[in-house]
Amino acid sequence: MEVLIFDDPAAVGRAAADRIANLVRTTPDAVLGLATGSSPQATYEALAEDHRAGLDFSRVRGFALDEYVGLSPDDTRRYAHVIHESVTIPLGMDAALVQVPNGDAEDLVAACEEYEAQIASAGGVDLQILGIGSNGHIGFNEPMSSFQSRTRIKTLAPSTRADNARFFDDASAVPTHCLTQGLGTILRARELVLVAQGAGKARAVATALEGPVAARTPASILQWHPRATVILDRAAASELEFTSYYEHAANTPVVTRGRLAGV
Ligand code: F6R
């Protein structure tokens, strides 16, 4: 796992965006996994700048991580709406190529299976963008989620409902259920990029990166992924123990084919 630490949240967004932009330049029909919430907003804003500067996202496909169950179709808190407003439009993506789990479906179980089938028929996710919950969740895979889980209905943890109450009039209005890609789904993405900013994430980040891989901290599965990058600001990194290792690795030229890159 590569861990990069930056002084401020905007630099986190730019660093994550640079990775995504590089992928889109080389693979114009790349498949992106999209997170919602506050964490990736700086990343999406940086990508929107890249788009205004000419980067073409019109063939890029997107699959959102999750969606609430039970919000009315015109509710602006629905992740389908949030993704449309903060990603699809600003990046100039084709709305027909951006999918969000269907939290309105008559048959939610079938909708989850259909979502997995759509991801598979797109060839899988090339790069999955992730945030982390203060309880260590990724997507809405709450603590004690199965590592093998696929897209499914989940009950939101009380701490997640409390964290997300800021988007609703009061905590009781936060939905109790969601559809979310599973940890097994996320692990199949070819690359993971997790962004976190602020001291409120520091404990979850330290437990996920430096604690044991354990169901009680779903984000700890990043330790199992062959290509995972974690991009943090100083506040989110403040409880890490191995900061000097990460900084040393980030500042040391990479060895490729027996030569030092750039030397
Ligand atoms: C949202 C999602 C969640 C959030 C997490 C952090 O699609 O997958 O895992 O990334 O709850 O939320 P914020 O970024 O709002 O702190």
Instruction: Give per-residue pLDDT as tens, 78-127.
Output: 999 999 999 999 999 999 999 999 999 999 999 999 999 999 999 999 99
* Given the residues 135, 191, 225, 233, the one annotated as active site: 135
pLDDT, tens digit, 9 for 90 and up, residues 53-62: 999 999 999 9
Closest Cα to atom 11 of ligand 1:
133
Residue 84 Cα to ligand 1 middle (Å): 16
CA-nearest of 55, 66, 246, 41 to 149 is: 66
pLDDT of residue 263: 46
Atom of ligand 1 nearest to the CA of 64: 7
Q: Assess whether 66 carries a catalytic annotation.
A: yes
Decide if 58 contacts 94 (C-beta within 8 A). yes
pTM attached to this predicted model:
0.96
Run of H or E residues at 17: helix 9-26
pLDDT band at 261 (very low <50, low <70, confident <90, very high): low
129 CB within 6 A, ligand 1: no
Q: Assess whether 170 carries a catalytic annotation.
A: no
Classify residue 84 by burial, with Cβ atoms within 10 Å: 0-12, 13-18, 19+: middle
pLDDT, tens digit, 9 for 90 and up, residues 64-89: 999 999 999 999 999 999 999 999 99
pLDDT of residue 90: 98
How many angstroms separate the first and last alpha carbons of the chain? 24
